[in-house]
Homo-oligomer: A and B are copies of this chain.
Amino acid sequence: MDGSHRCSANYVPLTPISFLERSAAVYGDRISLVYGRVQYTWRDTLQRCTRLASALVRTGIARGDVVAALVPNIPAMYELHFAVPMAGAVLCSLNTRHDAAMVSTLLSHSEAKIIVVDYQLEHIVTGAIKAMSERKEKLPRVVIIQEYDQPPSRIDRPGSALEYLEFESFLASGKLNFEIRRPRDELDPIALNYTSGTTSRPKGVIFSHRGAYLNSLSAVLLNDMCSLPVYLWTVPMFHCNGWCLTWGVAAQSGTNICQRNVTAKEIFDNISLHKVTHMGGAPTVSNMIINAPISEQKPLPREVTMMSGGAPPPSHVLYKLKALGFRIVHSYGLTETYGPATVCSWKPEWDSLPQDKQAKLNSRQGLQHIGLEAADVKDPVTMESVPADGKTMGEVMLRGNTVMSGYLKDLKATREAFNGGWFRSGDLGVKHPDGYIELKDRSKDIIISGGENISTIEVESVLFSHPSVLDAAVVGRPDDHWGETPCAFVKLKDGCSATEGEIIKFCREHLPHYMAPRSVVFRDLPKTSTGKTQKFILKKEAKAMGSLPKRVSKL
């Protein structure tokens, strides 16, 4: 419009860096990070991140360079989430459960110039660098984080051709008057997150400053996270940057409670000591909480909002968490959507429903959060929306500013994922009459038996309601007659027992006959570090088992 003029007074690229600067200005004296006896204020955090950014630049980090991190939920990991972008670089947080081979693959693929590693994980990086060295690849520099109660010391690695830096000394070498490198364009990359491998081929998901800014605010809003929250870190910060709450907690000038390890005891202790207001709850965490021995439990000093994500929580889990004093915000998303994308927004009229009905309604994935433009269930071929009948299955598709920029060095995969102008999640779901989406399965996990679709999630939900079952997963087992039949992998609770026949019988009482498992294997389930069951491993096993003998399949 005539009279408009775009300049620095009225236009700034959106970036989470602004959140940190604002918290330091407004709430400089408030505690930003707690890790055991270590505490920092927001002023400290801005200063430390500025020095760290400066140190990165002094060591040669240029705009767009990748800085990798193999670090658990300790303050350094939080600081890297700001310092790396403040150096104009891209943070690549690696899964702390990766082995040396995987880390070497990801360091090569991302072309990381530096890797910051926690002392407990140094051997992984050493192994990765050895492998890269054998492949004659360019090697990243290594910065090692020592334990916090130790004074910074020189790191000698005799025999290594590489220079190893110590994190605190490295940080201290940076300047406080460093001029923060803001993004030139808000679509510039801020982070690179490799998908955590429910499949075996990881892809590098690119996050932009704009998307990170908007998804952080969305995560804040969907949790009704008021200013000055106290956030307990149970979700790994390497996982979609802690579902964007690394940045989101800074937006609300909150206090981050860090834990190196996630145990029920530490969770209850920290909630009690720091009066935690919010936390995340991947399935492993919620299971840990509801199954914690009484001796480790402590009453919550106030209601704790738990953003549940990672996999649809079974109703009985939601129910038990609520009884303990947790308010569950059920959110759904993928690495490709910066973590949380949809939320099962609670409706006040549900308050008066029976608990099991409430849990059932709240175990749905809901609809787009405020930063996402749209969430829908569509026919993947025609792109038509499915009817909102709670029955017709389609692919969950998402669209908006909080969808990734693309897959690093894989434009073909990017284009496929965005084919039709929506991000195709690969998840199958239905749309209920109230518009809320419910996930039924990963498209690659669904079992087709005698022409019928079987949602493994529905079968698992019944298995979880069995009193002896601690964990369960269902995959297809080849069958000469039906094509596939459901095969359940089950882990029983300590001290409980059940036979294959009992489990099958229980399922047949609660499911249509064709959906009930025909075979049950008792074992520990293979997990990703974020608590997702690695079904591709179980599928291989089920495949190796071959078709069921005729007499069993006629049961």
Contact = CB atoms under 8 A, between A and B. Distances in A.
B366 A9 contact: no
A322 B410 CA distance: 58
Contact of A418 (B10, B27, B221): B10
B221 A224 contact: no
Interface residues of A, number: 68
A399 B9 contact: yes
A495 to B, nearest CB: 42
A4 B206 contact: yes
Chain copies in complex: 2
A493 interface: no
Contact of A401 (B14, B27, B406): B14
A135 interface: no
B405 A5 contact: yes
A408 interface: yes
A228 B10 contact: no
Interface in A2-28: 2-12, 14, 18-19, 22, 25-28
A6 B187 contact: yes
Interface string A179-222: 00000000101001000000000001010000100000100110
A3 B226 contact: no
Given A2-B408, A25-B367, A64-B1, A421 B373 contact: no
Given A12-B400, A22-B370, A406 B345 contact: no
Contacts of A409: 2-3
A368 interface: yes
Contact of A399 (B12, B187, B411): B12
Interface string A418-437: 10011100000000000100
Contacts of A10: 211, 399-401, 403-406, 418, 423
Contacts of A413: 3
A412 to B, nearest CB: 9
A1 B399 contact: no
Contact of A228 (B18, B189, B348): B348
A4 B414 CA distance: 7
A421 B26 contact: no
A251 interface: yes
B345 A8 contact: no
Interface in A61-76: 64
Nearest to A182: B373
B400 A3 contact: no
A335 to B, nearest CB: 14
Contacts of A27: 345, 347
A145 interface: no
A472 interface: no
B26 A423 contact: no
A227 interface: yes
Interface string A115-137: 00000000000000000000000
Contacts of A204: 3
Contacts of A414: 3-5
A114 interface: no
Contacts of A407: 3
A411 B204 CA distance: 45
Contacts of A1: 64, 90, 189, 192, 206, 405-406, 408
13 contacts: A1-B90, A1-B206, A1-B406, A3-B410, A4-B189, A9-B398, A9-B399, A10-B418, A11-B187, A22-B367, A26-B366, A221-B227, A227-B345
Given A5-B406, A221-B221, 10 more contacts: A1-B90, A3-B204, A6-B405, A8-B422, A10-B399, A12-B400, A27-B347, A228-B348, A251-B370, A253-B345
Interface of A: 1-12, 14, 18-19, 22, 25-28, 64, 90, 187, 189, 192, 204, 206, 211, 217, 220-221, 224, 226-228, 251-253, 345, 347-348, 366-368, 370, 373, 398-401, 403-411, 413-415, 417-418, 421-423, 435
The 6 closest A-B pairs by CB, nearest first: A4-B405, A10-B403, A9-B418, A8-B421, A4-B406, A224-B226
